[in-house]
Amino acid sequence: MVVPLRMGWRRLLFENWPVDPETVAAHVPDGLSVDEYDGAAWLSVVPFTNVAVRPDGVPKRFGIRLPEINLRTYVTRDGDPAVYFFSLDAQGVASVLGARLFHHLPYYYARISLEWRAGRTQFSSRRLHPGARPAEYEATYWPTGEPISAPEDPLARFLVERYRFYTEAPDGTVRYTDVEHEPWTLYPAAAEVETNTVLSANGFDVPTAEPVYYYSPGLEVRASTSERV
């Protein structure tokens, strides 16, 4: 990234599958090791919306809203846990082009809608990026139980308590960004997923295992500049 960013992440669904570690390792760049929980690697599709995205130091009222969906897995480098993003789809042509050109992130332009109705989030995304593999996602999701402090729950901690992410930039280099935020509070969740081709767009078969769902109302985030590994 050119400068550190501030933003809020809101109304997130974490849709998580255990998968064969070798399947994931084939898609992860050299220098990163697939992290495992209970002997499995994990893939997660995460729809949400960014709010008040702006350079660090700029007042929140000047930030922009950026709905997004990403596909991620979990890795380590030198023993440190992190997230690896395979793709990030977002609405907003200027934002996507800026993220690709200046922030070295594999963003794709998509038409996205996110609405909150009767306690449920309705999310729909359709990738429209020229030359990219098509990817669609449509789901309704909602919290179902009592809040969970992620650091106190082993699986939740594995999936979300990570403060660095890696991506492979369009030029083939691997880059990382550090993030700062409070520990996550999650809720057990349910979801009605009507369409999901995000996995196949990234070369993965749909896992046979039932997904584990978590929901979060969100938190505030600071993201550092992007650095080359």
Domain ranges of the chain: 5-228
Identify the pLDDT of residue 98. Answer: 61
A 10 A CB-CB count for 20 gives 13
> Structure pTM?
0.95
Mean pLDDT of 61-67: 94
pLDDT at residue 107, as a whole number: 86
Question: What's the rounded Cα separation, in Å, for the pair 45 and 49?
Answer: 13
Largest Cα span, the chain: 45
Domain 5-228 has CATH 2.40.400.10: yes
**pLDDT confidence of residue 68:** 95
Using CA atoms, how far residue 208 sits from 16, 32, 114, in Å, is 12, 25, 27
pLDDT of 96 over the 70 cut: no
- Alpha-carbon dihedral of residues 43, 48, 49, 51, nearest 10 degrees? -80
Give me the percent of the chain exceeding a pLDDT of 70. 94
Can you give the pLDDT at residue 140? 98
